[in-house]
Amino acid sequence: MTEDMRLRVVPQSIRRQVEDGLRDAIARGRFAPGEHLPDRVLCELFGASRSVVREAVRLLEAEGLIVVQPNRGPFVAFLSAAEAAQIYEVRGVLEALAGEGFAARASKEERAELRGIFAELAATCPEAGREVLLALKRRFYDVLLRGCRNAYVARMLDQLLNRNTQLRATSLSDPDRLPNTVAELRRVIEAIERRDPEGAAAACREHVRRAAEVALRILREHERARNARAG
C-alpha cells in the first residue's frame, strides 16, 4: 500500500485532532514563524503516526500556515504585513456579508447563542490568556457563520479565519485590543438585536478594520526588527 493510500484511510477524527492541535499550537506561538516542524517532534507531541502528521501538515500548508521547503521539510510560515493586509481586506467583505445575513436570517435561538458567547467574551479579563480568548472568538464566528444562512460566505470566511488565526493572536497581544474588541462586537450584537442587516454589516466591517490596524502595526514592527537583525 502506498503512503497516499494510507493517508486516505486515516480516520477523520484522528487527523482532525492533529490538524486542530497543530493549528492551535501555531496560533499560541508554541511554534514560531520560521520554525522547523520535523515529523518526529510532531508525532511525539500529538501521539500520532507519521502518515497522520503529514496529512495534517499538508492541510495546513493549503491554508498557508505552513510552508514545505524541498529537501528541508515543513516550517511555520512567515506572514508578511503585505499578505496580512490582503487577508484583512477580503475578511472585511466576507464578515460584513455574514453579519448582514445573520441579522436578517438567524433564528431566535442562534441570536441568543451569539449573545451568550459575547457576554462570556465581555466578562473575560486579558489575564485569561490568548487561548481562552481565541476559543471564544472561534465560537462566536461558528455561530455567526451558521446563522448567516449563506453557505458560500460561511465556507470562504471559515477558510480565511483559519489563515487569520495567527493574525488574531497577533492583534490580541496588544493589551488594549480586548476592550476595543468587546466594544466593536457589542455594536455588532446591538445591530443584530435591532434586526438591522446594514448596521450589522457596517459594525462587522469596522471590527475587521480596527483589528487590521493593530495586527499590521505589530507585524511591521516585527519585520523592521527582523530586517535590522539580518542587516
On whether both 68 and 99 belong to a single domain, the answer is no
Give the integer Cα–Cα distance in Å for 150 and 147.
8
On whether both 62 and 92 belong to a single domain, the answer is no
Give the integer Cα–Cα distance in Å for 75 and 129.
25
| pLDDT given at position 10 | 47
| pLDDT given at position 231 | 65
| pLDDT given at position 27 | 73
Give the integer Cα–Cα distance in Å for 109 and 112.
5
On whether both 223 and 158 belong to a single domain, the answer is yes
| pLDDT given at position 4 | 45
Q: Can you say whether the dihedral through the CA atoms of 169, 175, 176, 179 is positive or negative?
A: positive
Pick from 202, 206, 180, 177: nearest CA to 191 = 202
| pLDDT given at position 12 | 58
pLDDT tens track of the chain, all 231 residues? Answer: 444 444 444 455 788 899 989 988 887 778 877 899 999 999 999 999 999 999 999 999 988 889 999 989 999 988 889 989 999 999 999 999 999 999 999 999 999 999 999 999 999 987 887 778 888 998 999 999 999 999 999 999 988 887 777 777 677 667 788 899 999 999 999 999 999 999 999 999 999 999 999 989 988 988 888 788 876
On whether both 15 and 93 belong to a single domain, the answer is no
On whether both 146 and 87 belong to a single domain, the answer is yes
- What is the phi/psi pair of residue 68, to 5°? -105, 120
Phi-psi region of 47 (alpha: psi -120 to 50; beta: other; left: phi over 0): left
Angle at 112 between CA 106 and CA 114, to 5 degrees: 75
All three cell numbers of 183, joined, read 466594544
pTM of the predicted model as reported, rounded to 2 decimal places? 0.77
Give the integer Cα–Cα distance in Å for 105 and 83.
33
On whether both 171 and 67 belong to a single domain, the answer is no
Q: Residue 52, Cα to own-chain centre: how many angstroms?
A: 22
On whether both 54 and 108 belong to a single domain, the answer is no
51 is in which domain, residue-wise? 3-76
**Total count of domains within the chain:** 2
All three cell numbers of 29, joined, read 506561538
